[in-house]
Each structure stands twice: as C-alpha cells, then as structure tokens.
Amino acid sequence: MLDFDQAQTLLANAAGPLPRSEEINLADAAGRVLAADLDATVDIPPADNSAMDGYALRVADWGAGVRLPIQQRCYAGDVPEPLKPGHAIRLFTGSLIPAGADTVVMQEDTAEADGHVEISRPPKPGQHIRRRGEDTLAGSPLLAAGTLLEAAHVALMASQGLARVRVFGQLRVGILTTGDELVPPGQPRATEQIYNSNGPMLAALARGMGALPVHVLHARDTEEDLLAAFKTLLADCDLVLSVGGVSVGERDLVKPALAALGGELSLWKVRMKPGKPVALANIGGKPVVSLPGNPVSAYAVFAMLVTPLMRRMQGRETLFPPISQLPLRTDHPRQDAREEFLRVQRRLADDGSAELVPYGHQGSGVISSLPWSTGLARLAADVLVRDGDRVAYYDLRHWLA
C-alpha cells in the first residue's frame, strides 16, 4: 500500500491545468478560475475624496470659536469649486476634495447655522481624506492567474470597469457507479438491493468544486458494460471517477476494464482508513480515479485525494487548503496501522477553545455521519492517540470547495 501523503501528491500531479480557456461576463465569474494575470487599469479612488459627511477646509483657517462661511454644498458625483481662503465646503461621503482644502472635519464635530459652520475640535491635516490610488494604482498587479474567483474578486474587478474576464474552461467530470445490487433512488427496490447514493453524492461534490458532472452512469458487473461506460466518459470528460469494483473480489472488474482500454495503474491501494481500495490510471491523457464502493470511503477519498487533482486541472493556484491542529475528544486510546480519518465535529469547549468530537459510529457504511461532520480528523498510522491529543483537522468547508 502507498502511504497517504505519497498518494495525495501522486494524484495531485496526475494531470495539468486544462488547456482551454474562455472569456465570460463578470456576472458569471464567481466560482471560476482566473486564466491570466490581471493588472489594475484605473486608480481607486480615482481622485481624493471624503471618507465622511462633513466639511472641507484649510487647517490654517480654523480657530476656537471661528465661524467659517459655507462656500458650497458638494455631493458625491459633483465637481467642487476651488476652496476660498477662510471658507468651508459642505461635503458628503465620496465627495471630491476641493482644490485648496487640506482636511475634512466630520459633521459630528461641527455646528452649522446661518450659512456658517463652527468647528468644535482642532482638525488635523489630511484627516478623513481618501487619497487617489490608495486602494489600487493603475498598472499594479490586481489578481493572479489561478485565483478561484469569489464575490470579493468580482467587486475588485468591477471597480476597475471590467465587464468580461478570461477564465479556465470548466472541468468536465464523468462519474461511473458499479454494482448489480444498486438501484436508482425513486425506483422499486428488492430486499437484496440498495439505493445508489454514490452517484448523486459524487455529482453534488463535483458541482461543489465548481466542476460540471457531464455524465453520471451506472454499469452492471460485466466487463462489456464497464467498457462501454468508460468509453462514453472518456470521450466527453476531462476526469473520470468510478466507484466500486476496484478491490480484489471475483466481480471487481474495473481494473481489467481499465487495462483493456490501455490504462496502466500508477496507484492501487492507499494506507488510509476509510478508503484503502483506490486506483489511478491514465487513458489517452485523461486521469481515471477509482474510488471504494462504500459511500463514506468514497466521500473521504474524494475530499482528501481527488480534490487536489481537480484544483490543479481547474488551474487553481492553491491545491491544498489549510490544515489545523486541534485536540481530539475520545473515550479510549486509538491506534491503527493505517492513517485514520475520523468524521468529527469542531465544537467549542467550555473555555471557548476549539476541540474535535468524533461521530459515535465510524463504520464506512454509516452515511448519516457525513452531514453531521464538519471535517475529518487525521490520526497518524501506528501512533497511539489519547483523549486531548492534538491531531490534524481537515475542515470540509475548505477541502470540498
């Protein structure tokens, strides 16, 4: 078996970024990956402006009890007159700073009456003034290629006047479930059958990663069915994920099917729990990852091993989300010959510190543990872990995004 870290690195490098890109409307950019570096095109702010509702004046004109005549009322979007000596101009947040003014006094420190304003607190030069270009300067780096665009990035690009942006093509994922015992949800089910949860689950996980699940197919446990399904997926998709049929049973036929299509396994079996039966092949330049059939195992392998590969294929700059170290609450010492990934909830202890609480039943078929969990706690192989020991925590909000 391959060590987990080696398997994760191998999978993360199993393919490069997609060669295709497209230009899309800015309104559709959230969730996509920037394909080219962007530089700022305008200064933000484009001119000095007021950070407050208040009055623009010269510090030299202020004095205790001095009442300055109000020269003009200037709203955001107006062009102010040059400030006359010994005067003040009424401003509002976003108003341009008049030529000749060197400070802004917020209205809370003023009293206005009869067309004059009295300043109750000594002003400081430059206070409450947003300077031109203090946010971004035209020509300076704005965003790097590989950035996963979110609403904040959209706001930044919109502030530069960008209406369209070039992004990497959307990753097309094909999903194949296997097993004669599976029936689709909503269909009649015999006693010996179970509903197919892996197909819908993996499609949802792929969408959550910003990928497009092009096909969700099911094949019976025959080599003919498997070959036909794999051919369809490889023709239409960038990445293929199969579930089940990759262990060592008599009807685990995925490996022979991959070999028949010219796929050579570069990985088979990983030293992790849940999730030991994992395979990686490359067919026609496209990666095929075979996941274990138990839904919890498939979920854990997808989160820990498949998502870094997907991020690389999407062109993302960051492949591995952050990992924290938190104390584990456990009723008994834990130790396993494999890296163990426990389904846990991150909770706050009585003193306000964070801790990890495992789900009561860690069996690989316990699907109810998945929506309960906030993340996975990694317990190192062959290491005794006691109550309160700190372990690596993989927050699924980040690892599945």
Tell me the average confidence (pLDDT) per consecutive run of 10 residues in the chain, 401 residues long.
95 97 98 98 97 98 97 97 98 98 98 97 97 97 98 98 98 95 92 94 98 97 94 98 76 85 89 94 96 95 98 98 97 94 97 96 93 98 97 98 97
Contact (Cβ atoms closer than 8 angstroms) between residue 176 and residue 136? no
Q: Is 60 helix (H, G, I), strand (E, B) or coil?
A: helix
Check residue 248 and give its pLDDT: 57
pLDDT at 268: 85
For position 265, what pLDDT does the model report?
Answer: 86
**Token pair for 206:** 């792929």
pLDDT of amino acid 249: 58
124-130: long-range contacts at Cβ-Cβ below 8 A with a sequence spacing of 24 or more? 124/59, 125/59, 126/102, 127/103, 128/50, 128/51, 128/52, 128/54, 128/103, 128/104, 129/48, 129/49, 129/50, 129/51, 129/97, 129/103, 129/104, 130/45, 130/48, 130/49, 130/50, 130/51
Residue 251 pLDDT: 60
Handedness of CA 39, 44, 48, 51 (dihedral sign): negative
Amino acid sitting at position 144: A
Residue 277: cis peptide before it, omega within 30 degrees of 0? no
193: phi then psi, degrees, rounded to nearest 5:
-110, 160
CATH architecture for segment(s) 4-19+169-313: 3-Layer(aba) Sandwich (3.40)
pLDDT of residue 188: 93
State the first-to-last Cα distance of the chain, in angstroms, to the nearest integer: 28
Q: What is the pLDDT of residue 364?
A: 87
Instruction: Give the three-state DSSP class for 168.
Output: strand
pLDDT of residue 247: 64
Domain boundary assignment for the chain: 4-19+169-313, 24-43+146-168, 49-130, 324-399
At residue 162, the pLDDT reads: 97
* Residues whose CB is less than 8 angstroms from the CB of residue 71 and which lie 6 or more positions away in sequence, other chains included: 81, 83, 84, 87, 88, 89
**For the domain 324-399, what is the CATH code?**
2.40.340.10
Q: How far apart are CA 394 and CA 375, in angstroms?
A: 5
pTM of the full structure? 0.90
β-sheet bridge partners, residue 324: 393
**DSSP H/E element including 255:** helix 254-260
CATH number of 49-130: 2.170.190.11
